[in-house]
Structure 1
């Protein structure tokens, strides 16, 4: 009798088990489709920054909704986290940096918002890395490993090429949030970990995203003090490598160099040359990066128009004429 009762309960549960299994399968299929190869081109290949800027918040919330149902899907974690970082950079911090002095309060509020968005994205990306490297009784999970304790390097050595995107976007979000608030000690103490992460990413795939890592290193090496890993000579090395890998068709390479190398050196002539080259980039030559080039060209135009704010020897009155 007990056997029959057990069999009856099992048979009764089968439809529910099948439904759960089917729902999970469908969710995985949807998640795979929305995060597969080329899915990001819908945003980065567009020629209308305002359209994309208006659409990304909805996309982020949609991906977050999917994540709530499928929390361990690596594609969703990568896409959602990177979208937070991209949106914060291109559509929150970027416009804030171009606000006038009379918009000080709005600019500062936007930067606080950008920092929070960077952190949200970074936390999601770290979840993805924790999924792949959860640790055990002897070793910590990825997000708790440190350079100081010697626990991060063994994990990084295990990583493969398909981890590079997670490393790149996690470091981009983390360092961008720190750049906004250099007095945030919790972020500052993680710079050695982020430096190790991006170095490992470069070892695994130096050509990731057509020179994206070299463009990152231009900013990294030129912006940080030497005690934190800054190195002007290496910034020059990666500038040349970025130009080579992008064939000179990335406006971001020129803008990054003008902003992070030429301005501190007060080298106006090289600053101007690089920004003019950024404006000369054919945005249709690389359709997958059309949007990024358009946004960087807007920044290049702004920096040229506002050059007197970057170079003390340029007089505003003369410039205005």
Structure 2
């Protein structure tokens, strides 16, 4: 009987490990396939089932960093591409922020930082967490910080958002120190958006914004059109450059997205957004005057 029980335990344990591996490979493969799709209508119709599947995997393994990253990436991408309703966007944003914090809490030093009350000790604990981050951590921590900051931008009318902003910003700054080239220069792209979007008394700086966008544009080239879209949306509108704004949007619209299949879906979304914005350019810049 004991041998049978032991055998059952071994089989169950092996099944759990195997299932976890299969799930990881499945979601990674599906996510890559998602980003390569040409048919945006197919994605819009089919993605909700995939999102529910990912969410169920996260609920089953809430400390799995890879699953949390997949959840953050796919829910953020779907919301950006297909969700216009503000209340629905908030649901997506709240969810990805929650996963972002769950991901960061898988690091004991961050979990320790959150549970400290004393201000000086808390600051010291946060610095210890940042200094302990290595290049292998960037692929996790960046997506957590990105989701957190997107939530902050969506909730600027909240005092909590302003209080959390410096913490999230410091994480991105540390990521940029470790691997500023990560994901087409995304850490530089974030700083370009940050310095463009916020007023000077909250850290905004248009000179720094231009410097960061220049680096991000060089690193992303034509492969990741989101960088160009954000450059136009945040920086060129901030300086009131209507001519430059139209030029960049037309470059995005005219780009051959088939050259880069790995970012096809993201680039289709960027082109679609550029086409909508170019139709409203006069209205946008009148509102800025």
Superposition TM-score, scaled by structure 1 size: 0.80
* Inter-partner Cα distance in structure 2 for 1:186 and 1:313: 28
Matching residue within 60, 64, 67 for 2:58: 67
Give unpaired runs (5+ residues) of structure 1.
1-7, 97-109, 315-321
Matching residue within 112, 116, 140 for 1:141: 112
Relative distance call for 1:143 and 1:274 in structure 2 (3 A) is farther
Give unpaired runs (5+ residues) of structure 2.
none
Report the counterpart of residue 78 of structure 1 in structure 2: 69
Distance apart, 1:157 and its partner CA: 1.0
Distance apart, 1:313 and its partner CA: 8.8
Mapping of 1:1-321 within 5 angstroms?
A: 8=1, 10-36=2-28, 40-92=31-83, 96=84, 110-131=85-106, 133-135=107-109, 140-141=111-112, 149-150=122-123, 151-312=125-286
Report the counterpart of residue 317 of structure 1 in structure 2: none
- Is the contact between residue 38 and residue 264 of structure 2 (CA under 8 Å) also seen in structure 1? yes
Distance apart, 1:253 and its partner CA: 2.2
- Is the contact between residue 215 and residue 252 of structure 1 (CA under 8 Å) also seen in structure 2? no
SS at match of 1:284: helix
Relative distance call for 1:80 and 1:209 in structure 2 (3 A) is same
Bigger proportion of residues as helix: 2
| 1:140-160 Cα deviation digits (max 9, x unpaired) | 436557997312121011112
Greater gyration radius: 1
Relative distance call for 1:29 and 1:249 in structure 2 (3 A) is closer
- Is the contact between residue 58 and residue 67 of structure 2 (CA under 8 Å) also seen in structure 1? yes
RMSD in angstroms over aligned alpha carbons? 2.4
* Inter-partner Cα distance in structure 2 for 1:187 and 1:118: 13
- Is the contact between residue 184 and residue 220 of structure 2 (CA under 8 Å) also seen in structure 1? yes
Superposition TM-score, scaled by structure 2 size: 0.89
- Is the contact between residue 35 and residue 75 of structure 1 (CA under 8 Å) also seen in structure 2? no
Distance apart, 1:165 and its partner CA: 2.8
- Is the contact between residue 88 and residue 115 of structure 1 (CA under 8 Å) also seen in structure 2? no
SS at match of 1:141: helix
